[in-house]
Amino acid sequence: MKSSIFAIIMGKHLYRKPVKTADGSDTFFIPELNEHYHSRHGALQESCHVFVGMGLDVFKSMSEITVFEVGFGTGLNSLLAYEWAHEHKTRVCYISIEKYPLSEEEYSMLDYSIVSPNANELLGKMHKSVWDTRVEISEYFILHKIEGDLNSRVLPSGYDCVFFDAFAPEKQPDLWESSVFRLIFNKMNCNGILVTYCAKGQVRRNMIEAGFQAERLQGPPGKREMLRGIKIEV
């Protein structure tokens, strides 16, 4: 089975190599899976477009929102959500689940000073923040990292915006099934949205089966489309 091969590679003899993407921002590459943590056309551009532009910006006028991220990974999305929260003076509770956290040696190799002058310091603080606890990073940003498997951990609820940032469906098909989208859908607030870089027809159908109204949107540089699901109030 593809998913168990994935788990063996990720869990046991995993080597993650830091690489520069086309916009100059860093990401990791897993040679054994031939998979990047972000688009090689630009990690920062992709995250800004998919998760900030098509996700967070929908909630610009709100004073408080809850974000749920699938895969904390490098912490880049979390960093961008922090910057967004301060820019818009919106209090963000950022919940992120991660099954295979980066080690200190690995995350210290990342340089996101392109995001802001204190980004690397902030990123270190986020990576070091205690798992499975709500940590107040700043007045506008609460970080709640959950260590574990999306498919088995009991999760909190009340999400306004979901960053669905798993590895590609070909690499990790079990995370893109309708049952997983349904689990998340049931924990979201009405009028909440889920954004993902993926634009596959089967993924869109799985989102619809889970209850979302799904739309195709313009993708980030290097990608024609992406998907956004909306939990419509009934």
Ligand X SMILES: C[S@@+](CC[C@H](N)C(=O)[O-])C[C@H]1O[C@@H](n2cnc3c(N)ncnc32)[C@H](O)[C@@H]1O
What are the residues binding ligand X (CB under 6 A)? 37, 69, 71, 73-74, 76-77, 97-100, 149-151, 165-167, 172, 175
232, 193, 195: which is closest to 217 by C-alpha? 195
Asked if 143 and 137 touch (Cβ cutoff 8 Å), the reply is yes
Residue nearer to ligand X on the CB measure, 113 or 151: 151
Asked if 18 and 112 touch (Cβ cutoff 8 Å), the reply is no
Give the number of other CB atoms < 10 A from CB of residue 143.
24
| Spatial separation of the C-alpha atoms in residues 226 and 86, rounded to whole Å | 26
CB of 58 to ligand X, least distance (A): 19
Asked if 133 and 144 touch (Cβ cutoff 8 Å), the reply is yes
CB of 198 to ligand X, least distance (A): 10
CB of 47 to ligand X, least distance (A): 6
CB of 209 to ligand X, least distance (A): 20
